[in-house]
Amino acid sequence: MCLVFPEPALTESNELQKEIRKKKQQILKNKESIKELDSRERKLYTDISEFEKRIQLLGSKLAQNREELGDIKQEIQKLELKYEDLQKGIKENKQELVELIGHLWPLYLRRKHGSFGILGSWEKNHRQYKWLSAIFDYVKSKVEELKNQKVRLAENLEDQKRAQERKDQKIRDIRATKEELVNKKLAFLQKVKRVRAKKVAKKEQLNDIRSTIQDLQYDLKLKNTKKIANLKGLLPWPVKGKTIVDYNKNAAPPREGIGISLDAREPVKAVSWGEVVYDDTLRGFGEVIILFHGEQYYTLYAFLSDSKVKVGEKVEQSEIIGNAGFYPEAEGEGLYFEIRKGQQPIDPEPWLKDEG
């Protein structure tokens, strides 16, 4: 009999190795990304000193502006006091001039009408003249002083206006400096935050990939320990019964497996971990299940009454895959079992555990 055993396109171990290689490539890419982020972070820390210098300069500028603003406020206060003094002096001079004019006006009228200086001695008239001249000179000086006070008052108002403008400008400068300082701080902190967030995300992703690789490597190691080639003489029997057909490739026709007779219908178990590659009837063998175990190793279970698995399904060692059915050689319940490597049959008994 010649059976052609189907082989999966890619074994599970190969898939795991392929996935591990893929994950390792991802690790390399993530390491490059983290390296670049580290470089950017180091540059940011280098920029911190320069940034702090700029902060200090802005802080000094802010303190200087505030100091100048205080000086300007004091200057404005002095100008306001001076302005009040000038207004007070102008008011007093005006009052004094009003009083002087009140005294001089009758004398002026008397002189105008010729009644001044007619009677009396020359000495008396001379004294009156001297007195009136002094009064007129004093009034003239007061008028001049009043004019000067008004000029100084106008200048004081201009000084106050300029001082107020400087004050307003200093306030704008202070606000602009504070805004610039805050904006620079926020921009820098946002930049640091973005870089750190990316770095943390990349490191978390890297840890996840490493964890995945560890899991895959563990699975691969587990798969390697499950290799059927390493389990010769340790495989459990598919069923417990009496061997009635021995392996003999020289018999006519050749016996490529073993036949086992059973007292009753019993569950049939997979002798090792594998994948179902065939689950159907086969001429001369009844209901057949074929498992692929990797490295071209197959096991065949024939004359089943039913199947518990389907093609593509993974099975564990000693997992029930079906139930034994009618086996013609046993003239009752039984199982026919083969082990093959590629298309070549192998004597199953040296592979199965000696159960005494």
Q: How confident is the model at residue 192 (pLDDT cuts 50, 70, 90)?
A: confident
- Supply the mean pLDDT for the chain: 83
Burial, 207: exposed, middle or buried (Cβ in 10 Å; 0-12, 13-18, 19+)? exposed
Predicted local confidence at residue 266, as pLDDT:
94
By mean pLDDT, which of 202-206, 213-217, 280-284, 339-343 is the weakest? 213-217
Average pLDDT of the segment spanning 71-85: 80
Is residue 77 scored above 90 in pLDDT? no
Distance CA 145, CA 174 (A): 42
Assign 276 a pLDDT band (cuts: 50, 70, 90).
very high
pLDDT for the residue 109: 65
Residue 198: the pLDDT is: 85
Which pLDDT value is given to residue 245? Answer: 96
Residue 9 has pLDDT above 50, yes or no: no
Most confident of 120-124, 126-130, 131-135, 261-265: 261-265
Decide which of 234 and 225 is more confident.
234
Task: Name all domains of the chain by residue range, CATH numbers in brackets.
Answer: 12-223 (1.10.287), 242-346 (2.70.70.10)
- pLDDT > 70: what percent of the chain? 85
Residues 132 and 107: beta-carbon distance below 8 Å: yes
- Using alpha carbons, list the distances in angstroms from residue 121 to 50, 118, 124, 134: 95, 9, 5, 20
User: Strand 332-341 vs strand 286-292: parallel, antiparallel, or unpaired?
Assistant: unpaired
Predicted confidence at residue 121, as pLDDT, reads 65
Q: Residue range 321-328: average pLDDT?
A: 97
Query: Stretch 111-121: mean pLDDT, rounded?
Result: 55
Please say if the pLDDT value at position 139 is more than 80.
no
Among 5-19, 217-231, 269-283, where is mean pLDDT lowest?
5-19
For residues 323-343, give the mean pLDDT.
96
How much is the average pLDDT of 160-165? 85
Give residue 10's pLDDT band: very low, low, confident or very high (50, 70, 90): very low
148 pLDDT above the threshold of 60: yes
- C-beta neighbour count of 217 within 10 angstroms: 14
Separation CA 127–CA 116 (nearest Å): 13
User: What pLDDT score was predicted for residue 6?
Assistant: 63
Mean pLDDT score, 208-233: 79
Mean per-residue pLDDT for 211-220?
Answer: 73
Taking residues 9-35, what's their average pLDDT?
Answer: 79
pLDDT at 246: 96
Contacts of 246 (CB under 8 A, 6+ apart): 255, 258, 349
